Amino acid sequence: MSSPPGRGRPFLPGSALRDATKTSFHRSQTLDYRNGCAFFRLPTVGIGGEQLHVNQLSEAELDELSSIRPTLTYGQAKRAPPSDFIPAYVAFDKKILKFDAYFQEDVPLSAEEHYRIRQVGIYYYLEDDSMSVMEPVVPNSGLPQGKLIRRQRVPKNEHGDHFHWKDLNRGMNITMYGRTYRIVDCDPFTQVFLQSQGIELNPPEKMVFDPYTELRRMPLRKYITPSDFDQLKQFLTYDKQVLRFYAIWDDTNSMFGEKRPYIIHYYLADDTVEVREIHEHNDGRDPFPVLIKRQRLPKTFVDKKTTFPSCVLEISDQEVLEWYTAKDFAVGKSTTLLGRPFFIYDCDEFTRNFYRDKFGITDFQPVDIRKKPLEEVPQVLQVIPPYNGFGFLEDSLQNCFSLLPKPPRKDVIKMLENDHKVLRYQVALESPNPEDRKRRFILSYFLSNDMISIYEPPVRNSGIIGGKYLGKTRVPKPGSTTENATYYEPSDLTIGSTVEVFGHRFVITDADEYVLNYMESNAESFPAATLQSLRDHFRPRDSPIPETRKQELDELIVQVQEELKLHNYLNNRNIQEKFHQRDQDGSGILDKGEFLALCNSLNVPTSNVLVNKLIGLCSCGENKINYGDFLRAFPS
């Protein structure tokens, strides 16, 4: 079989020959309708009715073969198992979007700033869609910084919606709780996350800073005019030239203070001052000679408060108005260096020559600082506080004399010699109350320790409970003070005398015979008046009245009459009738108890000192009263 012309030859330029005998070039029909539906069929012949020698496949069959080829090669593919479900709060745990923002607030009533810029950080927590606003701490801002909005879901509008991360972007304003924040930038994680979610980010903006804070960070401008003084020339001229002054610090006014010697060095090269302490052998002080190191010392401050502590003041040219110079040091004058006064009493020869040549000063007479003899210090009297009434006065005073009080010293010899020796007296209470005037007491004086006790004998149906009235104690006299305390002694206890015991007055009406016997045996220790008072009290009633006693009785009667007239006592007729009625035998003598009871019933002022003394002079024998002499004071 012969092949068609040109078949099998390559289509090379100049070698493709056209079949001149071929006249049909139509294509075969591949599109047709069948049962009213359009369909496509593969061509069976080629162009011009040529026979097709290869199997032709449709595009769908070719696509199916391309997809089936891996399956035919490797087998049927297995579908991967679905991934596990991960909740959002686990997937986004600890994933936070951070935006840099700022807000502006007004500053009223301020001349230096009208508004304030405050930088904040807005944090969005992806796990629960909550937000928080934090303000970084700015030192010395005076503002309550830190957490401005705590972590929470921030409401977006009035409909109850909340802010979502889709609502946040750079270069936008966001209003939270009435405050508008301007978002300017975000961190790299936030940028990657938002871009991965298909959000187109706005370009970042430049952060705005607070103008007043930036102004404070700028250093203060100093307007200093350069001085005409040449410090280099001063250094070259006065290098290694030092003025030496000898001074003392007098601290004797304080407790344990003393005078301590010092040397003041003034360096002419740079106007600095150094103070050194002079140590003596075995002075007991630490071996640190430098009291003030070499430095410039301020003389006058610009505006220093007296209450400001100088130890924490950082001295600079702004705080000091004037510094110490060589003109401020002179012999015989005091200089205050850093709050401590120094008295300059001498200087060396170089210092004298310098002041003579530089300032024309020639008076360098040294001052004698030797210790002066101690002056007699006036004795300071110790102020004793008032007695509080607790315990004995001598025992309480020991608390004022010593930190560890000691018991007062006792007269042991007196206690041994007068042990169990007691002087007993009968006393009556001097009171405006008639019932109290009838009360009788026993006053006991203990010679061993000069203490007094008072006992009231119980009287039946008197309505008064008897017993101990005053315990053993020392009784001070009226007018006695804590500094000069005086107490009652046996010489003060006479018949008819008044004893004031802590505000209560008692009149001595009787005494034991032991009192008279004791005083007569120790007559040199007692006044004659005290002894005579007891002798007159115990004189027998039938003994004649001495002339001196009669004269004393007449004078006393006159005084009693004047006293009674002064008190308007006019019951003279009634008193004489009562006494004569009571004296049934007409002896002119009554028992002392009966006599006092009758006087009390007649309201005779027996508590009066003069009346009591008259009763004592009218006594005759023990417990007997010659009322005839007594009635002479009450003429009818």
Measuring CA to CA, which residue among 446, 438, 442 is closest to residue 467? 442
Give residue 313's pLDDT. Answer: 65
Report DSSP state, residue 390.
S
Within a domain: residue 138?
Answer: yes
Burial 130-153 (b: 16+ CB within 10 A, else e): bbbbbbeeeeeeeeeeeebbeeee
Confidence of residue 2 (pLDDT cuts 50, 70, 90): very low
> Between 609-617 and 547-566, two packed helices, what is the crossing angle to 10 degrees?
150
Q: Do 135 and 249 belong to one domain?
A: no
Q: Do 284 and 307 belong to one domain?
A: yes
Within a domain: residue 53?
Answer: no
Give residue 377's pLDDT. Answer: 63
Of these ranges, 149-163, 273-287, 404-418, the one predicted with the greatest mean pLDDT is: 149-163
Q: Do 176 and 240 belong to one domain?
A: no
Cα→Cα distances 459→441, 442, 463, 556, 598, Å: 11, 13, 8, 33, 18
Cβ atoms of 422 and 445 closer than 8 Å: yes
Percent of the chain with pLDDT over 70: 88
The string of pLDDT tens digits covering residues 142-184 is 888 999 999 999 999 999 899 999 999 999 999 999 999 999 9
Give residue 1's pLDDT. Answer: 44
d(CA 465, CA 463): 7
Within a domain: residue 82?
Answer: no
Q: Do 183 and 286 belong to one domain?
A: no
d(CA 456, CA 442): 6
Cβ atoms of 626 and 589 closer than 8 Å: yes
For 308, the domain range is 231-358
d(CA 443, CA 462): 20
Mean pLDDT of the chain: 84
Q: Token pair for residue 204?
A: 């970042």
Read off the pTM.
Answer: 0.34
Within a domain: residue 37?
Answer: no
Last residue of a domain, one of 530, 553, 572: 530
Within a domain: residue 64?
Answer: no
Cβ atoms of 52 and 44 closer than 8 Å: yes
DSSP string, 479-510: T--SSS--B--GGG--TT-EEEETTEEEEEEE
Give residue 131's pLDDT. Answer: 96
Q: Do 192 and 273 belong to one domain?
A: no
Cα→Cα distances 178→91, 175, 247, Å: 33, 6, 73
Q: Token pair for residue 598?
A: 């009758």
Confidence of residue 195 (pLDDT cuts 50, 70, 90): very high
Report DSSP state, residue 538.
T
535 or 351, which is more confident: 351
Within a domain: residue 221?
Answer: no
Q: Which residue type does 53 have?
A: H
Q: Do 185 and 107 belong to one domain?
A: yes
Q: Reduced to 3 states, what is the DSSP secondary structure of residue 381? A: coil
Give residue 202's pLDDT. Answer: 94
Within a domain: residue 43?
Answer: no
Last residue of a domain, one of 475, 503, 530: 530
Give residue 133's pLDDT. Answer: 97
Q: Do 460 and 574 belong to one domain?
A: no
24 or 16, which is more confident: 24
Give residue 452's pLDDT. Answer: 94
Q: Do 167 and 250 belong to one domain?
A: no
Q: Do 164 and 263 belong to one domain?
A: no
Within a domain: residue 21?
Answer: no
393 or 275, which is more confident: 275
Q: Do 260 and 338 belong to one domain?
A: yes
Measuring CA to CA, which residue among 404, 392, 403, 405 is closest to residue 482? 392
CATH code, domain carrying 241: 2.30.29.170
Greatest Cα-to-Cα distance within the chain, rounded to the nearest angstrom? 215
Q: Do 587 and 615 belong to one domain?
A: yes
d(CA 429, CA 612): 12
Last residue of a domain, one of 155, 190, 216: 216
Any idea how long the chain is? 636
Q: Please count the structural domains in the chain.
A: 5
Give residue 125's pLDDT. Answer: 96
Give residue 106's pLDDT. Answer: 93
For residue 354, how many other CB atoms are within 10 A of its CB?
A: 20
Q: Do 437 and 499 belong to one domain?
A: yes
Q: Token pair for residue 202?
A: 């706005």
- With a cut of 90, say whether residue 633 has pLDDT above it: no
d(CA 280, CA 306): 36
Element (H, E) at 612: helix 609-617
The string of pLDDT tens digits covering residues 115-137 is 999 999 999 999 999 999 999 99
The dihedral through the CA atoms of 229, 232, 238, 239 has a sign that is positive
d(CA 420, CA 413): 14
